Structure 1
């Protein structure tokens, strides 16, 4: 199991989760943050740190946000060529997002 960042993060990107992640597996896209599913160790530290309640264990992801499981996975292989860089600290914020995020109206 891994954790997934869902729609409440879009256009918010509070980044409190970045400070508590012990393995640095949360990466930044243009409008949202993404958890690398191969780097996440399921420690649960990020979920309570998120002020907008956007982070869920994969098996508890609300059905309405189920496309975000694929978005978090595909961000690293289909959207960017990041692959598994082994930590977000050494990776710049990406100027792209998964189509699930891109197709959402921008929040003011």
Structure 2
């Protein structure tokens, strides 16, 4: 099993989740984080660290978020690994409340 970053992360990109990850499976894009499904060891340490609740086990994805399993797997091939916390995006608090933002994902 693996964990998956979902739509809630788009335009927020809080990086609290990368710090406890023991295997450095997070990758950083312009406005989103992705998890490498081959590196993730299903430890769950990242889940509670995400302030917008954007991380789920692949078998527990909310309805409509299943596409993010493929999106995470695809994006990690182009994005660098991130292991240190960085500031959230400037308008993260606003975007944390917005739904239906898949079209805003910068790949």
Q: TM-score, normalised by structure 1?
A: 0.73
After the TM superposition, which residues 1-108 of structure 1 pair with which residues of structure 2 at under 5 Å, given as runs? Answer: 1-77=1-77, 80=78, 88-89=82-83, 104-105=103-104
Kindly report the root-mean-square deviation, in angstroms, between the aligned alpha carbons of the 2 structures.
2.1
Structure 2 counterpart SS, 1:43 = coil
Gaps of 5+ in 2: 84-100
1:63/1:15 CA distance change after superposition, 3 Å? same
Superposed structure 1 runs of 4+ greater than 6 Å apart:
none
* Aligned equivalents of 1:38, 1:2: Cα separation in 2: 8
Gaps of 5+ in 1: 90-101
Q: Which structure has the highest helix share of the two? A: 1
* Aligned equivalents of 1:57, 1:103: Cα separation in 2: 19
Deviation at 1:65, TM superposition (A): 0.9
Which residue is equivalent to 2:87?
A: none
Instruction: Count residues with an aligned counterpart.
Output: 88
Stretch of structure 1 that moved more, 68-77 or 50-59: 68-77
